[in-house]
Chain A
Amino acid sequence: MEISEEIDFIGILLPLVGIVFLIALGVIFMYQQFQKNIIRQQLEREALKNKYQKELLQTAIRVQEEERKRIASDLHDELAAALSIGYMQLTQIEDQKEFDAKRIGQIRELLQTTLTATRRISHELMPLHLAELGLEKALVHLLGKVATTQKIETNLAVSEHCSELSWILEVALYRIYSELINNTLKHAQAATIDISILCKSDQLFCQFTDDGIGLPEKLLHKGIGLQSIENRVKSFEGKFEYGNNKEGGFYCKIILPIENNI
């Protein structure tokens, strides 16, 4: 009783109410700050994701346009030119109204060249070996062609169970390796190319290495070829890593999930 008389309720409890009020206000303030920052970070992430997707789309369009340009140029320079020469020669024979065996022989040769060019363009669009014999044989053929035209040693190792890959995955891998081989031949000054494909349970481990001069520092951040490889790998939900080896040379590692892509 004595104690309670000594306690000044207004003097003691009112500040206590004020303290609780302050704590509540403080927590609300902090919570609002957190929310503001979380939303800001989410927006930043979304913007980055959109930017990345836009870049991917632009690269895909650019690659497609480059390919169209190349096909158009092949058709125009080789087929159209040969066919128009043939057309002119046939018109001349028609005008002369007499049988000229030499001219007809020239036209036959021209048609033969045109046919070969058509086959080459067609094979470049969709390699015959890949369609008929599968990825491993197509790569053997491609590396064989490289070895005959360039002074370079090529090694290919493909593990067992790699013959059951889906068609679309085989085409993608063929295109990726073609691009990498092409890059090495153009820029790397390499003496050896090593390719390995390992099928392990539900994943496909692909590796490409050369012993050339490696990628220059400024190209380490993706040229159009590497971007197109990355797009292909991303479309299969795979992982893509590349760079320069410590001992020199270029390396590229790709991991693709098989289950999703059969």
Chain B
Amino acid sequence: MDHQIVISYINKIPLLIALLLVARNYLRFSVELKVISWYVFLSVIVQFSSQYLASQKINNMYLLHIFVPTSFVCLSMFYQKTYASFLNRKIIWWIVSLFVVYSVFNSMYWEDIKTFNSYALSVESVLLIIYSLSLFALLLNEEVRNEKRELLSSLRWINSGILIYYASGLLIFYFGDFLTRFSFEKFQISWLFHSFIYIVQFTCISIGLWKYQKK
């Protein structure tokens, strides 16, 4: 139990560092990084609220049902701003709209609001993996690299963080429903791994934000 508490504190350190960088430099950030700042802000609120609810022994799973569509909107906006003129805006807006509708239906009819919403998380992960791999493919183009010269390093770090978290997390989310059928300890081990990739994600995002600030 102590072990779990320590990890729950450790995984907030990179999140708080990212928040600090956002608070210091938000006005100086480019529009892409401003959108990522919203994602950081949202994650902080959800993390601390869920921590508080857990300490009060109140089920906090419904926060995840809110976090999944909202975080997807933020990250989609980040990719939309990054792809900019290289992708028709409507494509991202269609994906976002369909996902939000799906996510709401999922919480209403398929996965109870008090349970882990593994389906929505899995779909979100698939879409974000597509976004991030596509961004890496886009950044292979020299013209695009020249256009994004100032942001390039930050984009690479942030995109890496998102890819590592959602690609690794996809299996946990996909098997989430299945894992809950095992013993509680095995479920905890999978969430230990989740904490690790969460730390990696926000470390990468913090480095990305810091790289921009350095410039």
Which residues of A line the B interface, CB within 8 A? 3, 6-7, 12, 15-16, 19, 22-23, 26-27, 30-31, 33-34, 37-38, 41-42
Contacts and interface: CB of A to CB of B under 8 A. Distances in A.
Contact of B174 (A19, A22, A42): A19
The A interface is mostly helix, strand or loop, or mixed, namely: helix
A6 B175 CA distance: 13
B9 to A, nearest CB: 32
A30 B144 contact: no
A27 B137 contact: yes
Name which of A27, A30, A37 has the most chain B CB atoms within 10 A of its CB.
A30
Nearest to A30: B134
Interface in B40-92: 83, 85-88, 91
A27 B85 contact: no
Contacts of B127: 26
Contacts of A22: 126
Given A3-B182, A33-B88, A42-B143, 13 more contacts: A7-B178, A19-B174, A22-B126, A23-B133, A27-B130, A27-B133, A27-B134, A31-B134, A31-B137, A31-B138, A37-B85, A38-B143, A41-B85
Interface string B116-130: 000000100011011
Contacts of B181: 6
Contacts of A15: 174
A246 B127 CA distance: 53
What size tier do the contact residues of chain B reach? 20 to 34
B170 interface: yes
Interface in B145-196: 170, 174-175, 178, 181-182
Contacts of A23: 126, 129-130, 133
A109 to B, nearest CB: 69
A15 B174 CA distance: 10
B130 A34 contact: no
Contacts of B174: 15-16, 19
Contacts of A27: 130, 133-134, 137
Contacts of B88: 33, 37
